[in-house]
Amino acid sequence: MTAGVWPLWPSALALVAMAAVIVFAGIRLTRAADELADRTGLGDAIGGALLLGAVTSLPGIVTTATGALEGDAGFGLANPIGGVAVQTVWLAIADLVYRRANLEHAAASLENVLQALLLVGMLSLPVVAYATPTLQWGWIHPVTLLIPLLYGYGLVLLRRMHDHPMWQPIQTSATVEDVEPDGTDASTRRLWGRLAALALVVGVAGWVIGQAGLGVVQATGLPSGVVGFTLTTAVTSLPELVVLITAVRMGALTLGIGNIIGGNVFDTLMIPVADVAYLEGPVYRDAGEISLVLLGGTILMTVVLATGLVMRERKGVGFEGILLPLIYLGTVAIAVVTR
């Protein structure tokens, strides 16, 4: 066994324990971020992208950096890609919880549609990097630098759309305006402090999950890309699931979907983290074919989600709620066969 890698059973127990920690913190993150989104005037869709998306992505960021620093390119790159895929599947679960109408219909928001398109653009850049593995600046690929630039420009477009929308979704009997929960007596400074404390908790949990995931890879012999795409991202993405279900039950549907899509966009910023933390050269060069399969499946899932947001089926679980889990399972199956 490689020195410093945890054995299987301690790794498994650590994953279960960190799942509990993340669920505990995620419930409190929802209410703190929702109230801060109202107080800062960001709006629920952008608030979900910036506040919830950033903080709930922290476990994945630390897990990604941990794997890349340990020299496992496949594990490091699969975590951000898998985070996007798993969190998109969470929407299908939320559709089952929200029984009154199709969730994507009820939470109509052009900001969320734009974020989904931005996500497709950001995920397409690593494909270019895969096709040009010999290009590098220092030890990273130049395309890596374009990902945060595109993210920043996307935030500018989101703010512009929020302030001066040029399109509006049709309001129907199934459309739900977000219900503003009763605010707390806590000051804005205290809310920011609470958010920072919870961010520290989930950040530490992310490091433990990264170490535990590498332990599972070492002990089982499973492809590190598959473990990163499924097991560790399922745990690190639990805050998004908790936040989504809690937001739906609170009636803050736009915030819930904005958290998922905004979290997915933010998770794409972990790809540069993986490339920078992997010191042996561009991470795309050494991640292997499995990571490219995972990337393609994740892009397809995002396109299906964007289509569901535009089509807005009225009742029940729409076509996207059926296709998303199927595409996810199919992507994992192809990745296992590709090993």
CATH of the domain at 159: 1.20.1420.30
Tokens of 95: 């559709």
Q: How far apart are the first and last CA of the chain?
A: 21
- Chain centroid to Cα 40, Å, comes to 23
Spatial distance between the Cα atoms of 162 and 31, rounded to a whole number of angstroms: 22
Tokens of 170: 């049709």
Spatial distance between the Cα atoms of 46 and 27, rounded to a whole number of angstroms: 19
Spatial distance between the Cα atoms of 34 and 180, rounded to a whole number of angstroms: 9
Overall number of domains in the chain: 1
Domain that holds residue 107: 8-164+188-338
Angle at CA of residue 87, ends 82 and 92, nearest 5°? 125
Work out the average pLDDT over 75-98. 86
Whether residue 15 is contained in a domain is answered as yes
Tokens of 151: 């993210």
Q: What is the mean pLDDT of the chain?
A: 81
Work out the average pLDDT over 282-305. 91
* Contact present, 123 and 181 (Cβ < 8 Å): no
Q: What are phi and psi of 235, to 5 degrees?
A: -75, -50
pLDDT over 80 at 179, yes or no: no
| Residue 36, CA atoms < 13 Å, CB-side half-sphere | 23
Whether residue 316 is contained in a domain is answered as yes
Angle at CA of residue 258, ends 256 and 260, nearest 5°? 75
Spatial distance between the Cα atoms of 290 and 224, rounded to a whole number of angstroms: 9
Spatial distance between the Cα atoms of 225 and 217, rounded to a whole number of angstroms: 9
For the residues of 1-46, what is the DSSP string, one character each?
A: --TTPPPHHHHHHHHHHHHHHHHHHHHHHHHHHHHHHHHHT--HHH
Whether residue 182 is contained in a domain is answered as no
| Between 1 and 154, residue with greater pLDDT | 154
* Contact present, 156 and 115 (Cβ < 8 Å): no
The pLDDT assigned to 125 comes to 95
Q: What is the pLDDT of residues 126-145, one digit of tens each?
A: 999 988 988 889 899 999 99
- In residues, how long is the chain? 339
Whether residue 177 is contained in a domain is answered as no
Residue 152 CB coordination number (10 Å): 9
Q: What are phi and psi of 59, to 5 degrees?
A: -60, -40
| Residue 128, CA atoms < 13 Å, CB-side half-sphere | 13
The pLDDT assigned to 1 comes to 40
Q: What is the pLDDT of residues 8-52, one digit of tens each?
A: 888 889 888 988 888 887 667 766 776 776 676 665 556 555 666
Spatial distance between the Cα atoms of 186 and 271, rounded to a whole number of angstroms: 36
Which residues have CB under 8 Å from 235's CB, separation 6+? 15, 18, 19, 22, 59, 209
Whether residue 118 is contained in a domain is answered as yes
Tokens of 150: 């595109």
Burial, 264: exposed, middle or buried (Cβ in 10 Å; 0-12, 13-18, 19+)? buried
Whether residue 174 is contained in a domain is answered as no
- This prediction has a pTM of 0.82
Whether residue 178 is contained in a domain is answered as no
Work out the average pLDDT over 177-189. 62
Residue 51 CB coordination number (10 Å): 25
pLDDT over 50 at 104, yes or no: yes
